[in-house]
Amino acid sequence: MTFIVLFLLTLASLSIFIFIPYWTRRTESFGVSIPESLYERKDLAKMRKQYAISMSLIGLILLIIFLSIYIFMEVSETGLAILVTTLVIIYLFASFITYLVFHFKMKKLKAKEDWQNKRIQKTLVYTKFRDEKLTISNWWYIIPFVATLSIALLTLFKYDQLPNEIPINYNLAGEVTNWRTKSYGTVLMMPALQLFLIATFLFINIIIARAKQQVSSENPEKSIQQNVIFRRRWSIFLFISSIVMIAMFILFQIDSYFLKMNKVVMLILPMMVSFGMLIGALILSVTTGQGGSRVKLPENKDESVIDYDDDDYWKLGQFYFNKEDPAVFIEKRFGIGWTMNFARPLGWIFLISVIAIPLIIAIAL
């Protein structure tokens, strides 16, 4: 069962990368800005198809390697984890190299046909965009916060009744592989990490609401509506994910400290939660697309204009670096979601905090 779940997780992860070109905005192709009216052109559609086929073949080869090693070789749990991690890293590296091939091909085509100078370039800003209901209320995050605080207080209240040895690691068979002597730091480490997780989800929800808006000059009304829907859907998905994850962690704490639950359920639960969230993200990507590009709405195109060409600020089409832009977070050009303006210090503070704070909590407690 564990192998099946791991295999499905790997398969779903690979699928996300295969179809990225079909989910990006119609004003962008492989990290290069293009006129929206050219998105369906045969040569551009062929490039998207070639990318998908290339990534499918790479993914298939890696899956065959994964299955062959698992079937014909005796792999320990540690070895299986290392194998999956290694194959994912290889796939990520291969996907980036494949992307770069098409990115430079796209840049060459754009320079040859000189699209940006054949149309009027505009940057549109919808001044009432922030008045729209872009995300769910931040107050909804009180629910997981109260749940986490409650289990933390219960743990402290029952501290004397807790076992002297606290399990902190399990193998794939659900057996404890590492223990820690009971202490306030040990029993509070998981609630502390949960609070950090909730704070991260909350901050991302704020980012979704505050990230720089992107309005298509060719089809402004449609793109505004699409972007509102895009942000709302991901905000809701984010909150549901936070509830599911916090509930899972609370069950782990109950199982470790108070009431032993079904061993098989507790073993499979994290993998099923991960798989469910991955499938949810996949479905949302397919139905919504980046910036809401896959949401079907009435069109009113003006093909005489094009978005302002800011390709020079996008290094390799993926890394935004613009000192003159006050925006800290912007939409990705290749993929789903948001990235940061690498020229703004606040973005770096957030990135470093996400990495450092969990380590500090673990070390301190």
Give the tens place of pLDDT for each residue, 132-149.
888 999 999 999 999 999
Could you tell me the pLDDT band of residue 150, with boundaries at 50, 70 and 90?
Answer: very high
Higher pLDDT, 109 or 8: 109
Q: What domain range includes position 103?
A: 2-364
The arithmetic mean of pLDDT across residues 36-52, rounded, is 92
Report CA Rg, the chain: 23
Structural domains of the chain, count: 1
Provide the terminal-to-terminal Cα distance of the chain, rounded to the nearest Å.
Answer: 34
User: Quick check: helix, strand or coil at residue 120?
Assistant: strand
pLDDT at position 11, please? 74
Residues 26/295, Cβ–Cβ less than 8 Å:
no
pLDDT at position 175 over 70: no
Please report which helix (H) or strand (E) contains residue 210, including its range: helix 184-210
Question: Among 141-155, 213-227, 351-365, which range has the highest average pLDDT?
Answer: 141-155
pTM of the complete model: 0.85
pLDDT at position 169, please? 63
Give the tens place of pLDDT for each residue, 106-140.
999 998 888 777 777 777 777 788 888 889 999 99
pLDDT at position 57 over 60: yes
Residue count of the chain, please give it.
365
Please give the Cα distance from 44 to 288 (Å, whole number).
21
pLDDT at position 96, please? 93
Q: DSSP state, 324?
A: T
pLDDT at position 229 over 80: yes
pLDDT at position 171, please? 55
